[in-house]
């Protein structure tokens, strides 16, 4: 658990103290014991090391790199909608983005944000009309390869089953879960 202040940490710790460990990541249970203003998750947390990574070749597609702040990424986020773009988190990446374009438009992108302990938090987003074609695997794979080459530990946070399947296909292993809340 992390908290923005010692007071918040004590408050949350006391509220969660009587719960079994598995209940701490259960949204309904947490809402019963804490005043939640906003919630993100729960989501599975998965990690991959170089020896477990299963790269995906792009085939006939070209994977291009763009700066994380590139306007074409904002266009992809607009296509996906606020909720999905927020969940993917491309706006926070610190790496270049690996992208696939179709007719000049970015339809899939992935990048990472460096977190503490040399963790590369992976962000992946595919335009709704282009899902189910392996583009998340292709862009995610390019991003994971770059993170591993930089000596980072790739982390994949996935809430929806399709994202979890992409992570597993790339060799990630689910090792925990995450529930983020903002206290009311």
How many C-alpha atoms does 164 have within 13 Å on its Cβ side? 12
Report the distance separating Cα 85 and Cα 167, nearest Å: 18
Q: Is 41 helix (H, G, I), strand (E, B) or coil?
A: strand
Mean pLDDT of the chain: 93
Give Dmax over CA atoms of the chain in angstroms: 55
Using CB atoms within 10 A of its CB, is residue 142 exposed (0-12), middle (13-18) or buried (19+)?
A: buried
User: Is residue 109 within 8 Å of residue 97, measured between CB atoms?
Assistant: yes
What pLDDT does residue 98 have?
Answer: 98
Report the distance separating Cα 179 and Cα 160, nearest Å: 14
Quote the pTM value: 0.86
Does the domain made of 43-178 have the CATH classification 3.40.630.30? Answer: yes
Q: Is the pLDDT higher at 64 or at 86?
A: 64
> pLDDT band at 154, cuts 50/70/90?
very high
Instruction: Outline which parts of the chain fall under CATH 3.40.630.30.
Output: 43-178
């Amino acid at each position: 658990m992390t908290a923005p202040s010692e007071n918040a940490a004590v408050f949350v710790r006391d509220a969660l103290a009587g719960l079994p460990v598995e209940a701490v990541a259960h949204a309904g249970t947490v809402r019963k014991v804490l005043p939640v203003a906003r919630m993100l998750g729960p989501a599975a947390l998965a990690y991959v090391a170089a020896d477990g990574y299963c790269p995906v070749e792009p085939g006939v597609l070209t994977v291009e790199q763009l700066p994380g702040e590139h306007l074409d990424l904002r266009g992809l986020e607009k296509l996906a909608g606020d909720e999905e773009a927020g969940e993917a988190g491309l706006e926070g990446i610190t790496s270049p983005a690996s992208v696939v374009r179709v007719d000049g438009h970015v339809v899939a992108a992935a990048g990472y944000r460096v977190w503490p302990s040399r963790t590369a938090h992976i962000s992946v987003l595919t335009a709704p009309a282009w899902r189910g074609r392996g583009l998340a695997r292709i862009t995610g794979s390019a991003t994971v390869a770059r993170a591993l080459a930089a000596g980072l530990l790739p982390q994949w946070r996935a809430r929806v089953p399709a994202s979890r399947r992409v992570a597993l296909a790339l060799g990630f292993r689910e090792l925990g879960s995450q529930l983020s809340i903002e206290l009311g």
